[in-house]
Structure 1
Amino acid sequence: STNGATEVGTIGTTLDSANFRMEDICWPGSLGCGLSKAPSEKYPEPPKPQDPLLPTWAWATIIAAIVVAMVLTGVIFLRRDRRINKQKTHDEYFKEHQEVAEAKRDIEANIERKEDEVDEMRKKLAKLEDQPFNPQEMPSTWTGSPEILVEVEPNEPEYQEVSYKLQKTMEDAIVTKLYRVQNQPLWIYYNFHKQRFRDSGMTDQEEEIQVWHGTRGNDPIGICEDKQDGFFTGYARKGLWGRGLYFADKSCYSDEYAFCRTGMPLHAASGEDSSGPLLATERCEEAEEEEYELILSLLLLGKAKFMERPSPDLKVPPIDSSSSLRYNTVCGYTKGENGVATKVWVVYENGRAYPNYLVRYKRKAQREAEEIRA
């Protein structure tokens, strides 16, 4: 010992003759000093420090290489994206160019078709101009008879067509006589108005329709044989849309205004007597056989104003705000005594309607009763 301190590890030469204490021994590692006994006969030897695997300069080189590789990879991907985007833009441009070219071809083809249509229409127009309208040309169905009222036989197509039109809304009606009105002066007068409509640019739908007209107690023969006006507004009565000439789409409505031919000669000038005109129903109530007459007319329609409500003070059609011109016709819906709604047209000038056929008819039930009596 030195200065009273015991040096660890100093032992004598004789076995078990040590002069030190266990508490004075300091053990390596985490055991430290002051143990009362040895921890074990063997204890782990502290690991020897090892040299680093690579020197510092090598690690710096590796890190730099990794950074350079990442930068190069980013540059490569960036160039690739640019190339892809450039290719995509080129494809889109090419596709758009193709679509534009196709649209141009379609437009050019449409223009060519329209030009062909225009050329065809010009040819038709030139052909029509070479064949000017002749108002004195009579319908092909007319015969050379000097009579104005020419009877149509039941086996003729005209008879079947008119009969079908009458029965379309009057199933119990049977045509007993049909007269074609061959009134040349009146036809010419009507066709002058028709040409006026054509010159003003009327379409086929706006030009002419077939409609029914009943004359109440006035003999329709007077209209059919008149060579000046035919339907005359001077005799018109005031109705839902003023004082005009009224025509109906459905025969069942005009039937309420039909003239009763019973007991009257065919060429009677008028249905009036000293006591004034009688309604058809009043005249036929006194007769055993009831035969009625309606006129199936041709009406120049023109531009028609649809009326949603009655306007009994009208004297002329209202003005069309889009053209500042008057409408040619007024139309609207109304109901008769049978409750059936029908469309009615009203005109306020002469020459707009032609009495095409005079239709005489009976009721089916009445005719069957007559056959039973016979």
Structure 2
Amino acid sequence: MESWKVNLISIWFGCFFTGLSISQIIPFLPLYVEQLGVTDQQALPLWSGLIFSVTFIISAIVSPLWGSLADSKGRKLMLLRAASGMGLVIFLQAFVNNVWQLFALRALMGLTSGYIPNAMALVAAQVPRERSTWALSTVSTGQICGVIMGPLMGGLVADWIGLRAVFLLTAGLLLVTFFVTLFLIKESNFLPAKKGEKLSGRAVLRSLNNPMLMFSLFFSTLVIQLCNGSVSPILTLFVRQLAPGVENIAFISGMIAAIPGIAALLSASGLGKVGDRIGAQRILIAAMVLTVVLFVAMSQVNNTWQLGTLRFLLGFADGAMMPAVQALLLRFSNDQVTGRLFGYNQSFMYLGNVAGPLIGSAVSAVGGFRWVFLATAVVVLINLIQLTVSWRYRKRQPI
């Protein structure tokens, strides 16, 4: 088997274990915060939000640094750093005695992040360019699958053994990720950037054919994560509003929350092949148009079946957008700055993780639940217009 195919399979499992590890903790953080002594009903959501957000904020700040190191030291080394660092920090979270210790470790966890963007960069650098969209889409299914299964596994462990055991299991899975990376992933043909040749931030921008398009793609990454997170704070409440007499509201809400991930898992690889044939740009534009239409339609639903069906269709757009963005980043960059650009892109992804829930909560407080869907549609529409303009501007540039 060709080395890039072995890498692709190994990285898929690495991303799967990473997605599984991170997602199985997040749904139970408020319960863990409460267990650590924060019982006031006003302080509990505040602390939960701070502890959730600090990881992404720190990650957004340091991701360009890890991307720069990846260009000079190698992506595999960054994968090993992220897997071992996150594993150790999450292991320590099982033994905290107060909420301040947990907050500090979650901030430290942000410093150790970066497995998935470096995995994507390694795949992008080694697969044949004509198969890049398919390869990146395939890797993304590993993360998606892990994110879907994580809360289920974490819930079972928390119910059977306890909340602290979830952190120990997560650390164990990241240890598996470390060994998969160490023994199975090979980084061939890597030429490290020498100190004198390492580009500054301005030089990175000057090396690009169209910086405006690159910033538009970064913003697209933020918007994609914002779409996923904007409805999270209000989804259960909106489902209860649609079905006030239903007793198993938690189960229905959980299914409606998870169903886009299932659709994305089923469609990502196939849409990646289509993107390789017709172009990632066309796939991205079409998926964004579909996203705008679906969010507008979701604001008008009258029952949970309509909401679930529309969110299932949204999963097809989710499965197409992020791999298309990454394929376009690869296409319009060069090997000397690929790691740096993927690091910048990851920063925007983390910012989207923070901005989405904040916007959703603020809009619902002012205008109600249905306005959250409309506001999200407007943000996607703005990004769609921006992408179209920057793409046409690129076409007018001299080749």
**Greater length-normalized contact order (CA 8 Å, ≥ 6 residues apart):** 2
**Fold-level similarity (TM above 0.5):** no
- Return the structure number with greater helix share: 2
TM bucket, shorter chain: under 0.3
Higher strand share: 1
TM-score w.r.t. the length of structure 1 is 0.20
Q: Which of the pair has more CA radius of gyration? A: 1
